[in-house]
Amino acid sequence: MTSAPAPASVRELDRFAVDELTRAAQKILDEFGSPATRPELLARVADTAAGLSGRTRHHCRPVDTEDGLFVLRGLPLDDADIGPTPLSWATAEDSGALWDVLLLLLSTVMGNPLAWEGQQNGRFVHNIVPSPGHEQEQTGASSAVLLSPHTEDAFHPGRAHLLMLGCMRNHDRIATTAASIRKVRLADADVALLSRPELPILPDDAYTEARGFEAPPPKVPTLWESEDGLTLRFDPAYTPLDDASPEHRAAYGRLEDELARVSMAVRLEPGDVLVVDNDLVVHGRVPFQARYDGTDRWLKRASVRVPGRRTRPAAEAEEHGYGQAAIQAYA
């Protein structure tokens, strides 16, 4: 595993962009008093994002390296001002509210912010913190286990094109792992095999209602060729591989091995925003020991759909999504 993204994948925000973004976010927060999802706040975010300078918007241009990600660096963050790390998303409420607005602004420049009716009360920005009792789960609330590399919300056809992780606190330099499908080496036969819809991807433990959905789960391909290259949909922790043929399991294992080979460790610093192309990159997290003392790792997560992007198989439109409704901020 490499230790960091290539230098070309780190975008240092200049002082002008930092000032423009932080002033705009603070103005919206002062006006509305809360970043909780409200139509009038989202409308103001959209208007404000549309008026940002080309200089700031250039920092938010699409992913343009084979890493399939970039880090926006330079936004200010004061560890004392943001308060203690919440013990769960449910108790976070408006903690770090300015960063909720910042991520909404950045998401709106890059596309259309996405929320889920069944996750974190329909908020567009999620708090990702270790939570007591969830240490061993394959969700963002875990800590003691390796969070397996996966595509965000891989079970759903309406999943994000881009995933954003804003770092609020990371005293222990806990690594987010990332691996791009564009850097792996697979035999043509394996690509062909994994491009067949042989297995479903089930909802993860964060979607309680979806896991009880009664309709048969749709079988989906793991890989497919888009107009600009190979893309993937991947979540081994929620894929029933025991139901696959031996040939399919072997090919899947080789894909896992290749993703591990090209994986990088991204140690986010407070104020960093990691932007991941969710069609190209699987992400995860190394294990760590949570303290639950207010100093643990704390990320903000936002999901983004890119209007007009054509990177998904047409057959996805027929999937039921396990009854989960994806909510886009702007129709």
E strand residue ranges, 37-170: 69-73, 112-116, 125-128, 147-150, 162-169
Look up the pTM and report it: 0.95
In degrees, to the nearest 5, what angle opens at C-alpha 304 toward C-alphas 232 and 31? 165
Amino acid at 220: V
> What is the residue-wise DSSP string for 207-262?
-HHHHT--SPPPPB-SEEEETTEEEE---GGGS-GGGS-HHHHHHHHHHHHHHHHT
Q: Are strands 112-116 and 223-226 parallel, antiparallel or unpaired?
A: unpaired
Sign of the CA dihedral 59, 283, 198, 229?
A: positive
Largest CA distance in the chain: 59
Q: Find the mean pLDDT for residues 230-241.
A: 96
SS3 content of the chain, % helix, strand, coil (to 5): 30, 20, 50
> pLDDT value at position 288?
97
CATH for the stretch 7-304: 3.60.130.10
Query: In 10 A of CB 293, how many CB atoms?
Result: 9
Residue 77 has pLDDT above 80, yes or no: yes
- Residues ≥6 apart with Cβ < 8 Å to 35: 29, 41, 94, 97, 100, 101, 104, 125
Query: In 10 A of CB 38, how many CB atoms?
Result: 11
- Residues ≥6 apart with Cβ < 8 Å to 63: 69, 70, 162, 275, 277, 280
Residue 188 has pLDDT above 90, yes or no: yes
- Say how far apart CA 232 and CA 10 lie, in whole Å: 24
Q: Output 36 or 253, whichever has higher pLDDT.
A: 253
- Say how far apart CA 130 and CA 289 lie, in whole Å: 9
- Residues ≥6 apart with Cβ < 8 Å to 78: none
- Say how far apart CA 256 and CA 235 lie, in whole Å: 10
Structure tokens at 25: 């976010």
Length of the chain measured in residues: 331
**CB < 8 Å & 24+ apart, contacts of 132-135:** 132/87, 132/88, 132/290, 132/292, 135/290
Residue 14 has pLDDT above 70, yes or no: yes
- Say how far apart CA 5 and CA 9 lie, in whole Å: 6
Q: Find the mean pLDDT for residues 138-150.
A: 94
> pLDDT value at position 310?
84
Structure tokens at 199: 């297995």
> pLDDT value at position 121?
87
- Say how far apart CA 325 and CA 327 lie, in whole Å: 6
- Burial of 4 from C-beta contacts in 10 A (0-12 / 13-18 / 19+): middle
Q: Output 205 or 54, whichever has higher pLDDT.
A: 54
> pLDDT value at position 8?
62
- Which of 207-211, 213-217, 233-237, 269-273 is least confident? 207-211
Residue 36 has pLDDT above 80, yes or no: no
Q: What percent of the chain has pLDDT over 90?
A: 84
Q: Please, which pLDDT band fits residue 38 given cuts at 50, 70 and 90?
A: confident
Q: Which residue in this structure is represented by tokens 């996405």?
A: 114
Cα Rg, the chain, nearest whole Å: 19
Q: Which residue in this structure is represented by tokens 């909780």?
A: 36
Q: Find the mean pLDDT for residues 104-109.
A: 97
- pLDDT tens per residue across span 284-322: 999 999 999 999 999 999 999 999 888 899 999 999 999
Instruction: Please give the mean pLDDT across all residues of the chain.
Output: 94
Q: Find the mean pLDDT for residues 270-280.
A: 98
The answer to whether 145 and 287 are in contact (CB under 8 A) is yes
